[in-house]
Amino acid sequence: MNDIYDVLVLGAGPAGLTAALYAARANLKTLLLERLGPGGQMATTAIIENYPGFAEPIDGVELALSMLRQAEGFGVEVIYDDVQSVEFSGEVKQVVGLSGTYYGKAVIVATGASSRRLDIPGEARFTGQGVSFCATCDGPLYAHKHVLVVGGGDTAVEEAHFLTRFAASVTLVHRREKFRAQSVLVKRAEDNPKIRIMYNTTVKSILGEGKVAGVILTNVLTGEDFVLPIDGVFVLIGQVPSTSVFQGALRLDATGYVLAGDDLTTSLPGVFVAGDVRQKHLRQVATAVGDGALAAYSVDKYLEGKSS
């Protein structure tokens, strides 16, 4: 058997990086496994201005690399590999990647989630340059500007209302003739003079040169296309947790998020969770960092109990 680590941390977003840092600082032998590169969704954000301690906005990649250097400075070992399967039922947990098999006395699952995309022309090109997937993160950047929100659930309607704190106007488009959101939220949006609602409408493409300047919308009833000048597009059509590899191994909710207790314990002893991959209400860098610290603390207490 290969080396057995005290803890395997799966995912190098802000939750995983913090968990690894705290675990290593507690003198636990820590391996951080990441599929692509550090930062997770944070690394796709060009401007982060609501993370405490930075008076000036910081680039998400820059913050991720700083977190990584700090974790490595405490002795965290980092391996880039794509997890294919897991076996969590034994005393020693096993994680199988494309490049090797890894063993740990405990595991912290911090694989994150990804925002659902529209997959239309201009979306990828302008991500971070006028296309956003988080109104709470980026709303203040659009003060006195005109923005478009895409979606029909609670999040889209709530965030459209939130954006009116900053934007001059908010256009909320939904592909159907009725929102899925709670009626009280819809009524609030309908009563807000800064919100314009367009039902039976989809976004065909996002336009601009260097930054978003407008969108092409389609009326799904008539098939008619028309251009709407706009400064920013918020795509709020849900998130997909990165939990497919944990199906059958951990208890998940109906949408695939990992269920956890207050100390971030999962349905299996020795397996903990942190960050966007778990079921919770607010997904921000700050909440992910808090999760990471608590998960590492819980691992330390778990291993302490096993050795006593």
Average pLDDT, the chain: 94
Whether residue 56 is found in the same domain as residue 141: no
Sign of the CA dihedral with 264 first, then 69, 130, and 241 last:
negative
How much is the pLDDT for 282?
A: 83
Which three-class secondary structure state does DSSP give residue 8? strand
Asked if 86 and 39 count as a contact pair (C-beta separation under 8 A), the reply is no
Whether residue 220 is found in the same domain as residue 206: yes
d(CA 167, CA 147): 7
Residues 6+ apart with CB under 8 A from 193: none
How much is the pLDDT for 114?
A: 86
* Count of the separate structural domains present in the chain: 2
Alpha carbon separation from 54 to 29, 47, 58, 68, 211 (Å, rounded): 31, 11, 7, 17, 25
Whether residue 149 is found in the same domain as residue 282: no
Interior/surface letters 279-292, b for 16+ CB within 10 angstroms, e for the rest: eeeebbbebbbbbb
Whether residue 173 is found in the same domain as residue 258: no
For residues 58-82, average pLDDT: 95
Nearest to 46 by CA among 121, 109, 119, 134: 134
How much is the pLDDT for 84?
A: 96
Q: Name the token pair of 118.
A: 């529209």
d(CA 92, CA 108): 13
How much is the pLDDT for 16?
A: 98
Chain segment 216-271, per-residue pLDDT in tens: 999 999 999 999 999 999 999 988 999 999 999 999 999 999 999 999 999 999 99
Quick check: is 138 catalytic? yes
More confident residue, 136 or 176: 176
How much is the pLDDT for 50?
A: 84
What's the CATH code of the domain at 200? 3.50.50.60
Q: Is 102's pLDDT higher than 90?
A: yes
Whether residue 29 is found in the same domain as residue 95: yes
Using pLDDT thresholds of 50, 70 and 90, give the confidence band for residue 146.
Answer: very high
Quick check: is 137 catalytic? yes
Chain segment 157-166, per-residue pLDDT in tens: 989 999 999 9
How much is the pLDDT for 72?
A: 97
Sequence letter at residue 106: A
How many helices, marked H, and strands, marked E, lie in the chain? 6, 17
Q: Name the token pair of 158.
A: 């709530």
Domain boundary among 235, 250, 265: 235
Whether residue 123 is found in the same domain as residue 162: yes
Whether residue 94 is found in the same domain as residue 109: yes
Chain segment 3-25, per-residue pLDDT in tens: 999 999 999 999 999 999 999 99
Residues 6+ apart with CB under 8 A from 38: 12, 13, 17, 64, 65, 67, 68
- Active-site entry in 6, 134, 276, 291: 134
Q: Is 122's pLDDT higher than 60?
A: yes
Using pLDDT thresholds of 50, 70 and 90, give the confidence band for residue 131.
Answer: very high
Whether residue 245 is found in the same domain as residue 104: yes
Whether residue 217 is found in the same domain as residue 257: no
Whether residue 8 is found in the same domain as residue 90: yes
How much is the pLDDT for 239?
A: 86
Q: Is 308's pLDDT higher than 80?
A: no
Which three-class secondary structure state does DSSP give residue 263? coil
Domain boundary among 235, 270, 290: 235
Asked if 139 and 50 count as a contact pair (C-beta separation under 8 A), the reply is no
Whether residue 191 is found in the same domain as residue 255: no
- Active-site entry in 137, 276, 291, 300: 137
Q: Is 143's pLDDT higher than 90?
A: yes
Nearest to 201 by CA among 181, 185, 186, 179: 179
How much is the pLDDT for 83?
A: 96
Asked if 69 and 76 count as a contact pair (C-beta separation under 8 A), the reply is no
Q: Is 1's pLDDT higher than 60?
A: no
For residues 94-98, average pLDDT: 97
Q: Which domain range does residue 295 map to? A: 4-114+239-307
- Active-site entry in 6, 82, 138, 263: 138
Sign of the CA dihedral with 176 first, then 180, 183, and 187 last:
negative
Provide the percentage of residues in the chain whose pLDDT is more than 70.
99
Whether residue 193 is found in the same domain as residue 275: no
For residues 134-156, average pLDDT: 93
Domain boundary among 203, 219, 235: 235
Sequence letter at residue 108: I
Quick check: is 262 catalytic? no
